[in-house]
Amino acid sequence: MALSATLPTLNSPANLLQATSTDVDEHCAALGRWRLSYDQISAGAFRGSFTQLSLPRLEVFREITSQQVRQYGQLGAGSFGIGLPWHGEGEVNCNGASAAGAKVIACIDAEVDMCTPKAFEFRGVVTSAALIEELAANLDIELPRSVWHQLRVIEMAEAPVARLRAHLAAIHETITAVPERLDDPAARQALEHALLVEIMDMLPTARPSDPGRSSAARKRTVDRARELMHGTGDRALSLLEVCKAVGASPRKLGYCFQEVLGTSPMHYWRAMRLNVVRRDLKRSRDAGTSVYDVAVQHGFWHFSQFSLDYKRHFSELPSETLRRARLAA
């Protein structure tokens, strides 16, 4: 059964949010003002946690997700976000590039769209792009305009990245052991200043991670294929129709998807449709609507195979999802 809860620890500061969930959509609902959606790509029970510490002018976050996930949406208009992959059973795929070592993922006034691996932990900071611009002007720092309005993997100097990692590790050790220390406004102000110093030290060294011309071409192929897969027409396109539309053989499309998203086109296509079916079932309030009706609407014609795929992907039968939605109504 899906469960999502905000878990303030004993004597925890009012500006500290901690949430856990066993449902990918409920995990998203705990992300506060961030306007993100997640699709579960890998099969299995979902477990997620999200911790956010709100400082005067920025937010520090830690996110853990058990399954491979596609994340898309916005952190908020005019936002600046910088994230460091912490742990995971694979690479983060972002615009055809992966993040490791001194590379970070930066979202500067841009849409988020990336795929994260299984057992993934992500830590970082979110603030306003206007604050970063104001600080840069005051400190005579040249900002990396080549990555503005984009979600990019960025290469940075190793030293400030290592210092930011150390700050984030210390913050979450404090949250775990002595969260009441974060009640002190002076402590929060000092922590914010320390984080901003490291960020402003990192940015002048930033340069986009160049995936190369062939990787960029594969990224364009995948983007076009995903656009077709996510189309909102009267019926779902088949994988063969997607291949024809992008002008790529199934084998070539497979290579492109594996490099850019870390999964196969068939698996991605099926996972996206299963996620849509699940959301429709969770929203269903009409007693006359059946699981079969919703499945067929999204291109699943072999009902018994659909039920097996659904249970494998979400660890429950589609009928159980529908029953829970009606009980909640």
Contacts of 110 (CB under 8 A, 6+ apart): 148, 149, 150, 151
Residues 250 and 328: their CA atoms lie apart, in Å, by 42
Tokens 């970070």, residue? 104
Q: What share of the chain is helix, strand, coil (3-state, %, to 5)?
A: 45, 25, 30
Which residues neighbour 200 within 8 Å (Cβ) at sequence distance 6 or greater? 132, 135, 136, 139, 141
How far apart are alpha carbons 65 and 45 in whole angstroms?
11
Q: Which 3 state secondary structure label does DSSP give 72?
A: strand
Q: Measured in whole angstroms, how far is the alpha carbon of residue 218 from the centre of its chain?
A: 21
CB 98 within 8 A of CB 155: no
- Alpha-carbon distance values, 223 to 60, 103, 145, 176, 215 (Å): 30, 23, 24, 40, 12
Please report, in tens digits, the pLDDT of each residue of the chain (329 residues total).
Answer: 333 333 333 344 558 899 999 999 999 988 877 888 999 999 999 999 999 999 999 999 999 999 999 988 888 778 888 989 998 777 787 766 666 655 788 888 778 888 899 999 999 999 998 999 899 999 888 877 766 777 777 778 888 889 999 999 999 999 999 988 888 888 889 999 999 999 998 888 877 666 566 777 888 898 889 888 876 555 667 788 899 999 999 899 998 888 888 889 999 989 988 999 999 999 887 777 889 989 988 878 888 999 999 999 999 999 999 998 888 76
The token duo for 117 is 């691996």
Q: Spell out the residues 6+ positions from residue 5 whose beta carbon is closer than 8 angstroms to its own.
A: 19, 20, 21
The CA distance from 225 to 247, in Å, is: 10
Question: Scanning the structure block, which residue is given the tokens 């402590």?
Answer: 187
pTM of the model: 0.84
8-state DSSP, 211 = -
